[in-house]
Amino acid sequence: MAAKRRSKVYSGIGGQAVIEGIMMRNGEKYAVAVRRPDGKIEIDAQTHRTFMEGSFLLKIPFVRGMFVFIDSLILGTRALNFSADIYDQEEGKESGTSGNGALDGLLNSLVLIIAVALAIGLFIVLPTYLASVFEKSIRNTSLVSVIEGAIRMIVFILYMFGIGFIKDMRRVYRYHGAEHKCINCIERGKTLNVDNVMKSSRFHRRCGTSFMYISVFISIIIFFFIRIEYIPLRIFIRILLIPVVLGISYEILRLAGKSENFFVYVLTAPGIWFQHLTTKEPDRQMVEVAINSVEAVFDWKKYLADNFGYDIDENGEIAGVLPGWGDDYTGEYYDEEYDEVYDDEAGEYYEDEYSGDDSYDD
């Protein structure tokens, strides 16, 4: 009996947009591809030792999420620093100066600590404090908790909306879209080339934006049941509960990448909506950078052969199907959830028009 060809298969790869580039990770391997000012693509491919590697804690559901989050911060910061160094080197050549490695490392650690502190202040301390102001006129503690949750969500929306006005972030958002498009392209069983990637969706359920939204949503639910009158203690307890929030959020996001469960679909849907703010349509050069990053850590040809039964030739094109997979390949690119975003004849992309009731399957 011929194997049934699937429309979508989880690949296990993920990534992050950096300055003029993309970081892609596949297990212990990761690669950062950056477009240099001279137009060339520089790739840094390395092996990453996971935070708490080998610990039994990484195998415990709802506990491992905190450590995975820390690991992502470490790797993300490293990738971001590499992309920044590319441009620092170019500026150093022009000015005749160079950076201090030890000092740069210290500053990077300090920046990371400040960023985490600001996030706690913005999403934990500020909503809790503002909601406490209403306690003087509202005696219903449940209503105050609802107000706190509403404030937290409003702060999150304003934050996501506000950083989009930063000029440099707009290009990062386009590279973010290129990262998603590459993953969607191969998980939909398409050969990894610029044309196919450009036609793919820029929205993906396993996205950091979705993780941020889920974390805010889960925190609202958990904090609703934590009733403490003394404000400083209330804030302190909420900070202590961050690992719990991250642990639950991670498991939901992990399930979202593999499950078609309706509950998961509904819970992660707003995360896709927020990606309208954090991803933009990339150009072909950005996609080229993303493809280079993927190919440095992921054998997509073997992946398509193993999961879709396609025989890939030396040029990266589908030559046919492997024995046992049937012969239903038509050679045409078609995906019902993307076709209204891309006009094949005009070669145009409609960034503000997004269709696809199945978009949350990405």
Domain carrying residue 42: 14-95+108-349
Q: Is 356 a domain residue?
A: no
Q: Is 254 a domain residue?
A: yes
Q: What is the pLDDT of residue 91?
A: 59
The amino acid present at 249, given as its one-letter code, is S
pLDDT level of residue 39 (50, 70, 90 thresholds): very high
Q: Over the chain, what is the mean pLDDT?
A: 84
Give the Cα separation of 354 and 356 in Å (integer): 7
State the average pLDDT over residues 19-23: 95
104 within 8 A of 89, measured Cβ to Cβ? no
Q: Is 270 a domain residue?
A: yes
Q: Is 302 a domain residue?
A: yes
Q: Is 237 a domain residue?
A: yes
% of the chain surpassing 90 pLDDT? 59
State the average pLDDT over residues 142-168: 92
Tokens of 12: 């296990």
Q: Is 340 a domain residue?
A: yes
Between residues 120 and 335, the one the model is more confident about = 120
192-232 per-position pLDDT tens digit: 999 999 999 999 988 999 999 999 999 999 999 988 989 99
Q: Is 228 a domain residue?
A: yes
48-84 per-position pLDDT tens digit: 988 888 889 889 999 999 999 999 998 998 999 899 8
224 within 8 A of 146, measured Cβ to Cβ? yes
Q: What is the pLDDT of residue 126?
A: 96
Q: What is the pLDDT of residue 335?
A: 46
Residue 21: closest CA among 194, 174, 213, 234? 174
43 within 8 A of 292, measured Cβ to Cβ? yes
Q: Is 31 a domain residue?
A: yes
pLDDT of 175 higher than 60: yes
278-299 per-position pLDDT tens digit: 999 999 999 999 999 999 999 9
The domain tally of the chain equals 1
